[in-house]
Amino acid sequence: MTAKATHTFLTYCIAAIWLANGLFCKVFNLVPRHQQIVSKILGTQHSRLLTITIGGSEIFMAVWILSGIKSRLNAIAQIVVIATMNALELILAPELLLWGKANAIFAFLLILIIFGNEFYLKEKLGPTK
């Protein structure tokens, strides 16, 4: 697979992760554990609304990724959000995480993929026309 094809494939995969987590897991509440995590960290009073808001933000992230607008800023934003979100969950709600403390490994791998896709593969492709 060429660098361009790999970059495109990874971009769509990363966007799909944000879309699936935002739309299916949070907005449609198909994975109630996400709302439980929000409830544990931010309180139960408005946890459903907050979960939907977070899901909407993740859907927006997917759209932003696919738009290609300010992709470096987008990659940095993704890395900061993933690191912050996972650190908070690890500290405040580890018992609700799908893989417990091992979630940090998967978060770190996703951060590496996002970083490599934007700052290595895209650089390898050279300036876009």
pLDDT of residue 126: 76
Domain edges within the chain: 3-125
Q: How many CB atoms lie within 10 A of CB 59?
A: 18
Going from the C-alpha of 46 to that of each of 27, 58, 75, 91, the distances in angstroms are 14, 18, 30, 21
Q: How many Å apart are CA 121 and CA 4, to the nearest integer? A: 8
Please give the single-letter amino acid code of residue 66.
L
Place of tokens 């987590």: 21
pLDDT of residue 5: 94
Each residue's pLDDT, cut to its tens digit, for the chain (129 residues) gives 899 999 999 999 999 999 999 999 999 999 999 999 999 999 999 999 999 999 999 999 999 999 999 999 999 999 999 999 999 999 999 999 999 999 999 999 999 999 999 999 988 887 664
Q: How many Å apart are CA 83 and CA 2, to the nearest integer? A: 29
